[in-house]
Chains A and B, each alone.
Chain A
Amino acid sequence: MNDDTVTLERLAHYLDSGRVPYDPSIEDVPENASQLATLERLRVLSGELLAEDAAADPDPDPRWISGVMERVRQEARSGRDIPLDSDGAATLHMTEGAVRGLIREAGDSVPGAVVISCSLGGDVSAADAPVRVEVVISALRGQYVPVMADEVREAVTLQLLRQTELDIEAVDIVVGDVHLLETGVAS
């Protein structure tokens, strides 16, 4: 130790900052540079240690997973109730969450498209009230997006007409993201 050595805490903060800006009082003093390398190695090793722990972790107990998913479904964000019959005697309902599921299913069925999110605008709880659907999708890079968007719009529209009594005013498609094939080149 000499007067030029700095505290480990200062070295840790320097490491946190990505060693920017370059600090000669650390980098150019051999004792400090050596301690800095040790800290960096400890940090990397700690991450690797956790990754090793995780890799050694046995497959999750299926009962554990199903227990968690059961609680998740109990807290399902089902949203508003949507009447299933437009004849006034609205005794049958489906939840907004179930409608979102139908939209996801229809959108996912278009090759190259995956639904990210969707929303139903309008008073869906009233029979015959016009509803505006917005679907945000991720599009496979390289596909002609306007055609894909049309296909998603068509699939979602058809699905909702078949399975619900919603009075659909419009189905808007927003391309929120682009994705690659797994084997594709990195962008």
Chain B
Amino acid sequence: MIGCYDFCGHYEWTFEWLHQQGGHAAVKAYWDEAIHRDSQVHAGRLIREKGFEGMKEYWGPTLADEGAVYERTVTDDVFRIDMHECPSKGFLLRNGLHQYADYCDHCMGWIGPLMKDAGFVIDHEHNHHGQCWWEMRRAADATPASVPGALSGSHDVRLRADWPQPATDHYERATDPDDKNTVV
């Protein structure tokens, strides 16, 4: 049986298997069709119907059950997550699993299209070491991403001494996993 305890391991393995079968298009379609529109259909429903409140209702219990160490900051205009210990990437790092080019892209792969459907855009950055940050704003809100510390204070993951890893990937007002820029 394929279980849920080591899910992140076979999930990551599956990205590379799909890449070998159908290239990047197959992986991107998988994140959108299988994860966003099928597996996580409940998340899409909550966020489309309730906006920021739906984000709270979805990510609160989910990240708690997954064992994430994170901080959430919510105002009337933005939903921000500072992920200090990603349970998913952390599992891969601890177990030495690395098949697919960038596992972290899967989050934008399914959350991006979900936010687009729900009328939001995303500013996001991940460092491939289990830390990342997210800011979701309404698509009509042109406010740029916050500067470090401005929204979540000392909880801002960008203030960690270990944040500027050799490379970070970042997205600005994005809803597509291909909208990525890499900082070296």
Chains A and B bind each other: no
- The residues of B with any CB-CB pair to A shorter than 8 Å are none
- The residues of A with any CB-CB pair to B shorter than 8 Å are none
